[in-house]
Amino acid sequence: MKLDRVGIIGGGASGMLSASFATGDVTLLEKNEKLGKKIYITGKGRCNVTNNCALYEFLPNIVNGEKFMMSSLSAFPPPALMEFLAENGVRTKTERGNRVFPVSDKSSDIISALSSAVNKNGCKVCLNTEVTSVKKIDNEFIVTTNNGDFIFDKLIIATGGNSYKATGSTGDGYTIAKNFGHTVTPILPALSAIDLMDDVKSLEGLSLKNVSVTFKVGNKTISRFGEMLFTDKGVSGPIILTLSSLINKYNLKGEKLTIDFKPALAPETLDARLSGDFVEFHNKDLTNVLAGLLPKAIIPYVLAQSRVNGHKKANSITKEERFALGFTIKNLSFKIRSIADPNHAIITSGGVSLKEINPKTMESKIIKGLYFVGEVLDVDALTGGFNLQCAFATGKAAGIATGSI
């Protein structure tokens, strides 16, 4: 019996999983000189490969595509991935927040395990092979590359998103999808730093813990509590990355982002604290008194927004000025310019419309034998290993599906 010729475009996280499970005469086409270039830089070189939690805890971390992902994640949940990695020579460990890393803390070990699984499945790997166009004539896919044409019966698109282009993900899959009549939802940076209109150069490197950041647009309010930091042009860090994914569909220019430096204190409690400090340090300049409450670098911003002179002695601060200071400490506001440079977003949100894809098999509902997996799909999740797990689960689903008639 003639084997189906299965082509996979993209040797990243999702493509390698497809290549490990596909059945038939399987060929993986990767434009880079090696597989898994993006995996190498994940988790700051340690690769947060998945999140070891139950499905009901996993799903709320998917920003877009929660329902779509249920089927493939149920078939290939985090423990199954960890077992698969172990079978291919890599032991993993679970850290804070259920984040899973290789025991070695080396992302290269994850790439080795995936490459070994691809080889075990007998998949041919063509490196330095860039796909430039794809057509379907009768029942065959004609895939044109810089290394000549390939002909396949089934084709899996695993080309990734549109950020960190140097790793190979240059958005080619979106063009392929559109050429086949698929809808591609707007491509936006997600899990990204946010640039501000305010000059925050003097705050660069300032890292804050236990703060709450709120974004308001119209009557919608989105807040997150935790850690953040200032960059030369704006803000970044865990809660900002999360917020960026939650707000990237809004028109952000000029919208307000506010920081509450004392989220654990009710306004009256903070006012009592300020009052007490002003009595205790009555002869000190306001700036110096505030240094007991706030990071030094942020004080000029608090003073400017509350319109209080920092050189005033604490005992001459009026009640109105104290209220203004308390309000600003809980609501220091900045104007958003945009989500930072899309190329430096950790992932891309938007992609091939999920309505047009079978969630069990990842097969296109428009073109028989065509599959989309990984970040090229309109699926994006928060940090914590969720994005790689989605790539692996969709990749495996399509790989398995190539074996069915």
User: Per this entry, what is the length of the chain?
Assistant: 405
- Specify the stretch interacting with ligand FAD by CB under 6 A; choose among 70-78, 152-160, 211-219, 222-230: 152-160
From 42, 61, 88, 236, residue interacting with ligand FAD (rule: CB under 6 A): 42
Q: What is the DSSP letter of 313?
A: B
CA distances from 383 to 39, 156, 196, 394 (A): 14, 26, 22, 18
Instruction: Give CA–CA dist 356/378, Å, rounded.
Output: 11
Instruction: Give CA–CA dist 12/21, Å, rounded.
Output: 14
Q: Which is nearer to ligand FAD, 12 or 350 (CB)?
A: 12
Shortest CB 122 distance to ligand FAD, Å: 20
Report if residue 43 touches ligand FAD, rule: CB under 6 A: yes
Query: Judging by beta carbons within 10 Å of its beta carbon (0-12, 13-18, 19+), is residue 255 exposed, middle or buried?
Result: middle
Report if residue 187 touches ligand FAD, rule: CB under 6 A: no
Report if residue 385 touches ligand FAD, rule: CB under 6 A: yes
Shortest CB 176 distance to ligand FAD, Å: 8
Report if residue 156 touches ligand FAD, rule: CB under 6 A: no
Instruction: Give CA–CA dist 36/40, Å, rounded.
Output: 7
Instruction: Give CA–CA dist 309/300, Å, rounded.
Output: 10
Shortest CB 338 distance to ligand FAD, Å: 19
- Interface positions, 103-142, toward ligand FAD (CB under 6 A): 130-131
Binding flags for ligand FAD, 294-333, as an x/- string (CB under 6 A): ----------------------------------------
Report if residue 78 touches ligand FAD, rule: CB under 6 A: no
What number of other Cβ atoms are within 10 A of residue 108's Cβ?
14
- Specify the stretch interacting with ligand FAD by CB under 6 A; choose among 29-37, 86-94, 225-233, 281-289: 29-37
Computed over its alpha carbons, how large is the radius of gyration of the chain? Answer: 25
Shortest CB 208 distance to ligand FAD, Å: 22
Q: What is the 3-state secondary structure (H, E, C) of 95-139?
A: CHHHEEEECCCCHHHHHHHHHHHHHHCCCEEECCCCEEEEEEECC
Report if residue 244 touches ligand FAD, rule: CB under 6 A: no
- Contact set with ligand FAD (CB under 6 A): 9-15, 29-32, 37-39, 41-43, 47-48, 130-131, 158-160, 163-164, 167-170, 172, 346-347, 374-375, 385-388, 391
